[in-house]
Structure 1
Amino acid sequence: MLPSITPFGGMNLRPRSSGSGGVEEARNALGQRLRELRRRAQLSGKQLAESLSWQPSKVSKIENGKQTPTDDDIEAWTRATDTEHETEALLASLHTLEVQHAEWQRVLKAGMLGHQLELSEQDAKTRLYRSFEPAVVPGLLQTAEFARALFSRAIMVHRVPNDVNDAVAKRMQRQEMLYRTDKAFHFVITEAALRYRLCAVDTMLGQLDRLVSLTSLRNMRLGVIGYETQYVVDPRHGFMIYNSDLVRVETYSAELNLRQSHEIGLYTSTFEKLAAVASYDAAARAVINRAIADLASAQPEDGE
C-alpha cells in the first residue's frame, strides 16, 4: 500500500523515534498538573466530571496524557477546583503544546494558504535547510502542477476550505529563495519518491524534469538514494531541519515542531547518515533520468 501524503509534501507515518517524545512528555506533564489540582480540591475524577457535565473518561484521558484539553476545558477545570489563579500558567503550557503538536484540523481550518504564510515567516529566519523525504518530492522543489495535486488531495482528506490556487501561488513564491546566495539547501530523497504515482503521468514527468534542472543550483545539494543502496539507518519518515533550531515532522493528524536539543541532535545525526549514502550531481541525475525513462515508456502513446 502506498503511503498517504501530508498537505505539504511529507510522508505520513507516525514517528517512532524520540521525535514525538517531547510532545508526549509535555502532554503528560500538563495532565499531571491538572490531576494535582483535582486532588488538592479533594475531588475524585468522577466527581469532577459530574460537576462539569463531562463523561468520566474525559478526566482520565486528560490526566493521563491521552487527550489534549481545550482552553475551555482548562478554565472549567480551574473553576471547579477553585484554582483559577493557575489558569494563565496552564493555558500557556497548553498553547506551547499546541505549537509542538499542531493538528491539521486546527492549522488548516481557514484553508491551505494560511500555513504557507506561516512557513514564509520561518523561511525568513532560516539560512540552512536540510530535508529528507522517502516518499514524495519536498514542497520547495515541487512544480505548481505537482503541488496542486497534493493540495487538492489534502483538502478532500481534511475537509477544509478550497484555496488551492492561492496556496500553490504562495508555494511558488516561496521557491524564489532557492536562488538566494545567502541561503543553503540540502535535500535527500529516495528513488521511491521519484516513482510513486501520486499524480498524473504528465505531471510527474514535469516534476522529475524539474529535479534534474535543480541539481545544478550552486547553493543546493540534491541527493538521491537509489534502490540498490545499503542503508545505515532506515528511512522511517520525512523531516526538515531549520538551521539547528527546529525539526518539523508531518504525521497523519498533525505537524510536530521539535525544539529540544536531544531531538534536534538525533535528527541531525540521522540526516547526516542518510545524506552520506545518497548520490549527487551526475549520479543523482542518472537515477532521476532512469525514472523518467521508465515512466515515459509506461505512458500510452496518443491514439492507443
Structure 2
Amino acid sequence: MTTASPSSSAQAAREALAVRLQHLRKDAGLTGKELSARCGWHPAKTTRIQKGAAAPSDSDIRTWCAACGADDQADDLIATARAVDSMYMEWRRLHQGGMRQVQEDWLALHEQTRHCRVYLSNVPPGFLQTPAFATALMTQITRFQGTPDDVTEAVATRVARSRFLYEGGHRYVVLMEESVLRFRTADPEAMRGQLRHLLAVMPLASVSLGIIPFTAQRTVWPLEAFYVHDDTMAVVETLTAEIKVTQPRELADYLEAFAGLAEMAVYGDAARSLIRAAIDALE
C-alpha cells in the first residue's frame, strides 16, 4: 500500500479555500488583475493565493471579499482559513509559551474520544506514561526546541489523561514497536518503572496493547506515531509538527496501515514476555 504525506490533508484544505476565493472573484466578474488593483496589491499575490501557495491573512480575506462585494462571507472564510492553519502546526509554535497548553488540548480531545487507535515506534503514548518517564521525555523535547520550561506542569496534565483508562466509555487500542521498549529514553530506573506500568495496565478492559516484535515479517514498514480518534481524525506526530488528517481517503490509509500493523503484533502473554525481556535487559 502507499500512504500519502500526512501534510497533504492540510494542503488539500488550503487549496479548497483558494478555490472558494477564486469563485468569489469569478462571481464578481473580475479578472485576477482587476481584483489585485481593487485590493491594492501585486497580481502575483492574487495568483499565489488562488493556487493555495500562500495562506491569506485575515486582512487579505476581508480585502478580497470587499473587492468582490461579498463582505458577508468574510467571517466564514476567515474561520475556514484558521481551521486550515491549525491542521499543520509546528511544535515550536505550539510550545512557544510552554508545553502545558498543548497537553490541556490533548486532555480535552481524549475526553471527547470514545475509540482511539494508537501506533507508536518511538515512545509509549502520553496516557500510558509514568510521571518519571514523561519528565525525562518532555525535558528532552523542551531543550531540543528551545521553548519555555514548564515541564512540571505539562507532565501533570499529560499524566491526567490516564484517568480515561478507568472511566467508562473510552477504549484504547495501542500498537508499539518492540523498539519502544528498548530505547533508553529515560534513565534505567525510570525505564523500569515505565515498562512495569505497561504490564500493570494490560489487564484493563479499556486497553488493548500489542507489541510488534523485531522479528515480525513486515507488511507495513515502521511509521511515525499516529492517533486515530473515533475514525474522524488522525493526528500524526513528526519531528517538527503535529498534523491533523481529516480527508476520508487519507484516514482510510491510516486505518488500513493500522490493521496491517495489528496483524504483525503479539498480545497477552507473548507481549508480556517482550516487556519483561526489556526490563531484564536494563539490569
TM interval, short-chain normalised: 0.7 to 0.9
d(CA) in 2 for partners of 1:35, 1:243: 34
Runs of 5+ unmatched residues, structure 1: 1-14, 297-304
Match of 1:215 among 202, 207, 211: 202
Q: Describe how 1:148-159 pairs up with structure 2 within 5 A.
A: 148-159=135-146
d(CA) in 2 for partners of 1:87, 1:41: 18
Identity in percent: 32
d(CA) in 1 for partners of 2:163, 2:122: 24
Summarize the Cα distance change of 1:84–1:183 in structure 2 as closer, same or farther, 3 Å threshold.
closer
AA in 1 matched with 2:89: A
Q: Secondary structure at the match of 1:185?
A: strand
d(CA) in 2 for partners of 1:268, 1:132: 11
The alpha-carbon deviation at position 256 of structure 1 amounts to 2.0
d(CA) in 2 for partners of 1:116, 1:172: 9
Residue 226 (structure 1) aligns with: 213
The alpha-carbon deviation at position 104 of structure 1 amounts to 2.9
The alpha-carbon deviation at position 225 of structure 1 amounts to 0.5
Range 204-213 or range 61-70, more displaced: 61-70
Residue 22 (structure 1) aligns with: 9
Q: Secondary structure at the match of 2:276?
A: helix
Summarize the Cα distance change of 1:42–1:268 in structure 2 as closer, same or farther, 3 Å threshold.
closer
Residue 169 (structure 1) aligns with: 156
Aligned residues: 280
Residue 85 (structure 2) aligns with: 98
1:241 paired to 2:228? yes
Q: Secondary structure at the match of 1:257?
A: strand
Match of 1:138 among 85, 100, 125: 125
Summarize the Cα distance change of 1:292–1:83 in structure 2 as closer, same or farther, 3 Å threshold.
same
1:286 paired to 2:276? no
1:190 paired to 2:174? no
d(CA) in 2 for partners of 1:253, 1:276: 30
Residue 114 (structure 1) aligns with: 101
CA RMSD for the aligned pairs?
3.0
Per-residue CA shift, 1:194-250, capped at 9, x if unaligned? 222323333222222222222222321111011000122222222111222222112
Summarize the Cα distance change of 1:61–1:154 in structure 2 as closer, same or farther, 3 Å threshold.
farther
Residue 259 (structure 2) aligns with: 272
The alpha-carbon deviation at position 37 of structure 1 amounts to 6.0
d(CA) in 2 for partners of 1:73, 1:146: 45
The alpha-carbon deviation at position 288 of structure 1 amounts to 1.5
TM-score, structure 1 as length reference: 0.79
d(CA) in 1 for partners of 2:139, 2:179: 22
Do 1:144 and 1:172's aligned partners in 2 also have CA atoms closer than 8 Å? yes
Range 102-111 or range 112-121, more displaced: 102-111
AA in 2 matched with 1:177: F
Q: Secondary structure at the match of 1:151?
A: helix
